[in-house]
Amino acid sequence: MNLPPPETLRQAIEGRRNWTLNTLSELVRYPTLLGQEENGQRYLAGIFDQLGYATYIEPIVLERIKNHPGFSPVDWKLEGKQNVVAIHAPGTDTGPSLAFNGHIDVVSPEPVKLWSSDPFDPRLAEENDGTWLYGRGAGDMKGGTLSYLWALAALQDLGLEPASKVICQSPVEEECTGNGALALLERGYTADACVIPEPFGETILTHQVGVVWFQVRVLGHTQHVLGAGRGVNAIEKSWPFIQALRALEEELNQPDKIPFAYRDTEHPINLNVGVIHGGDWASTVAGECVTRFRLGLFPGEKCADLMRTIEERVAAVAAKDPWLRENPPQVEYMGFQAQGATFDVSSAFGRSLQQAHTHWRG
């Protein structure tokens, strides 16, 4: 593909500005939370159709991916969820293929009362550094999807097309498992290189930590508050596990544990205590408490090793408590079991990205 002068391309991009903002706004209106992705996916499939791409809606088939090393276990319904793929096939294929991967799912906007506007009613605002679109998913990462579509549409408007195959991937479950992307790869939607336009600014991300999700289930002994002394409060028994896992987090961030690539990153491994479900009545001693966590790991480390360490720390806490020794807590896994990754910027693709950015942005 012979590109036009930079000014011509910039004009074509500017000509698609309103289309991009309107399309992004409409996509943000779809509350594509976990389990609610379908309508947003179908809207995006329609946009791919408008651009003339061969578009496919690909249901996830659990049997095809559940035994894959990259699969993450779930405690919700996965079967039948829909990925969307669109393919541009050039008249004459003259180069390596390229995939763009942008997930459709968003995380919960709760508590909504802290928002200054409805998170699924996007609004535009003129700020000192340009025009901003506010809404859940506008940045992470529906804006990324529309960014690459903006560029591809501008090329179309100039009568141009990429000289090689382009695969546009819109997976589900990036925010919790990665199973959507795994299902696409298992179905054969692969390319020689992939761009994931997450909102990290004009940078090439060279290292990405892995993630493990898990929960600690603690049982207590229920009593009415008048007999609280005879009960065992599962919520109170859960607190030492949070403390022990915080201590593990600090160990993982000690200088001798941090790889060279993360030497300038402050506290690269983070534990998050994300969800607590405990008890069911203010005047009843809580009989069960489930605490959900997220913990990172460096590229090159194995999820199985981190999971074993987590279980050892939980067991060590339980061993010090008479009740927990007799009623051991359960460590359960659902969601991410994703290892970290690295990208070599000196690779052919890395050099191409840098050269293109320098040419067009300076």
Q: Please identify which of the residues 37, 58, 173, 174 carries the catalytic annotation.
A: 174
- Which residues contact residue 248 at a Cβ distance below 8 angstroms, ignoring those fewer than 6 apart? 271, 295, 309, 310, 313
Query: Is position 174 annotated as part of the catalytic site?
Result: yes
Active-site residue, selected from the candidate residues 105, 173, 175, 301: 105
Our count of domains for the chain comes to 2
Tell me the β-bridge partners of 221. Answer: 232
Say yes or no: 211 and 166 in one domain.
no
Instruction: Tell me what pLDDT residue 94 has.
Output: 82
Distance set, CA 141 to CA 71, 104, 113, 252, 285 (Å): 22, 7, 22, 29, 43
pLDDT the model gives residue 357: 85
pLDDT of residue 5: 86
Q: Quick check: is 319 in a domain?
A: yes
Residues 324 and 226 in one domain: yes
Is 104 part of a structural domain of the chain?
A: yes
Say whether both 325 and 288 belong to one domain.
yes
For residue 1, being part of any structural domain is answered with no
Residues 260 and 235 both lie in one domain: yes
Residues 163 and 30 in one domain: yes
261 and 300 co-located in one domain: yes
Report the length, in residues, of the chain.
362
User: 219 and 184 share a domain?
Assistant: no
CATH number of the domain at 211, please: 3.30.70.360
107 falls within a domain: yes
Range(s) of the domain holding residue 263: 207-338
| Pairwise CA distance, residues 26 & 353, whole Å | 30
Task: Identify the CA nearest to 270 among candidates 260, 258, 280, 287.
Answer: 258
Query: Following DSSP, what letter does each residue of 47-101 receive, concatenated?
Result: HHHHTT-EEEEEE--HHHHTTSTT----SS--TT-EEEEEEE--SS--S--EEEE
Please tell me whether residues 92 and 236 are part of one structural domain: no
Domain of residue 25, CATH code: 3.40.630.10
- Asked whether the beta carbons of 170 and 305 are under 8 A apart, the reply is no
Q: Name the residue type at position 5.
A: P
As given in the structure block, the two tokens for residue 141 are 């990462």
Same domain, 191 and 255: no
Query: What is the mean pLDDT of each successive set of 10 residues along the chain, which is 362 residues long?
Result: 82 97 98 98 98 97 95 92 97 89 98 97 92 96 98 96 96 98 98 96 91 99 95 98 99 96 96 98 98 99 98 99 98 98 95 88 72
**Same structural domain, 193 and 272:** no
Say how far apart CA 96 and CA 196 lie, in whole Å.
17
Say if residue 178 is in the same domain as residue 43: yes
pLDDT value at residue 360: 81
> d(Cα 135, Cα 153) in Å, to the nearest integer?
24
* CB 215 within 8 Å of CB 293: yes
Residues 303, 99, 121: CA angle, nearest 5 degrees: 85
Residues 191 and 48 in one domain: yes
Q: Which pLDDT value is given to residue 1?
A: 60
Cα separation of 170 and 184, whole Å?
9
pTM (2 d.p.) = 0.93
The answer to whether 89 and 97 are in contact (CB under 8 A) is: no
Under 8 Å between Cβ of 298 and 210: yes
pLDDT at 301: 98
